[in-house]
Amino acid sequence: MIFFSKKALYIWKFQKTFFYLRCLSALIHQIKKTMIEICNMSFTYSKNKPDIFHELNLQMKGGHIYGLLGKNGAGKTTLLKLMTGLRFPQNGNCNVLGMESRKRQSAMMEDLYFLTEEIWLPDTNISGYLRMYAAFYPKFDQEIFERCLVEFEIDRHNNLKRMSFGQRKKVAIAFALATQCRILIMDEPTNGLDIPSKGQFRKMAAEVINDERCIVLSTHQVRDLESLIDSVIILENRQILLNKSTEDICQQLLFKTLFSLDNQPGLLYSEFTPKGYLAVFRNTEDMDSKLDLEVLFNFTTQNPALTNELFKK
């Protein structure tokens, strides 16, 4: 008969529970409903120019807040327009909620909201704006809208045209969140917001996400949204270079700040800053670290082959 110490038994039980929780998490991730599915999609603005996307494949599932990252000209806004049916692929398919985005069916449009970077609001007050547009979204929640206005400190009686750009952006964000659409797409949502409002936006977006909703945030302002995003998509060279959850990324990579690069086995990437070297290592010992989206972006775009190897694309 084999006897175990209480400490060994405790460690065994902990490891077993941890294993079951990870299996459960993986199962939940697999069964989450696919909201957006792109298959072998190619797109170009002109036949005389190279494809912006070539045989692109991508899946987005419910319950996630995706951060869409890419260099200038990588096609982030174009991809969002393809998802919303404002552009049509030359080849392949883009399906949203099981429907072809190019057809812009009413069943899709009433459950999808696209907040563009440049916003236009009519010459009316907020009540007039709601009367004009809220009816297009059957699940629009007036209470959520009013709560967002209070958070953003917006006077609902003001004329929209007389507001500053930042104030108009807050109204547009409040409306977008209140639609309760299953798919919410935002292009540079924090542009024009002051520092307190960025924090309020993160709080409100986190409150509305659930397994039946998918939020896509295209941004260059990664510091603004780092704590909100739970999945990262990086566009590079007409393809999806990375599409992983932040949990998966931190299981593979370890992020550190170093004062010296001497004797650093396993170092994959580093960049110098006034605070020291921001470094990326293979996470061989399953250690915890805080994901740095800016460093991740620089590392992956400069090392695409290694990125594919690490994440077995």
**Does the structural domain 32-236 have CATH classification 3.40.190.10?**
no
pLDDT digits (tens, 9 = 90+) for 53-112: 999 999 999 999 999 999 988 899 999 999 999 999 999 999 999 999 999 999 999 999
Residue 21: per-residue pLDDT: 57
Q: How far apart are CA 147 and CA 158, in angstroms?
A: 17
Q: Let me know: does 113 contact 216? Beta carbons within 8 Å.
A: no
Q: How far apart are CA 97 and CA 86, in angstroms?
A: 16
Q: Let me know: does 132 contact 126? Beta carbons within 8 Å.
A: no
Segments of the chain with pLDDT less than 50? 1, 27-31
Residue 3: per-residue pLDDT: 52
pLDDT digits (tens, 9 = 90+) for 210-221: 999 999 999 988
Residue 30: per-residue pLDDT: 46
Residue 20: per-residue pLDDT: 57
Domain layout of the chain by residue ranges: 32-236, 247-311
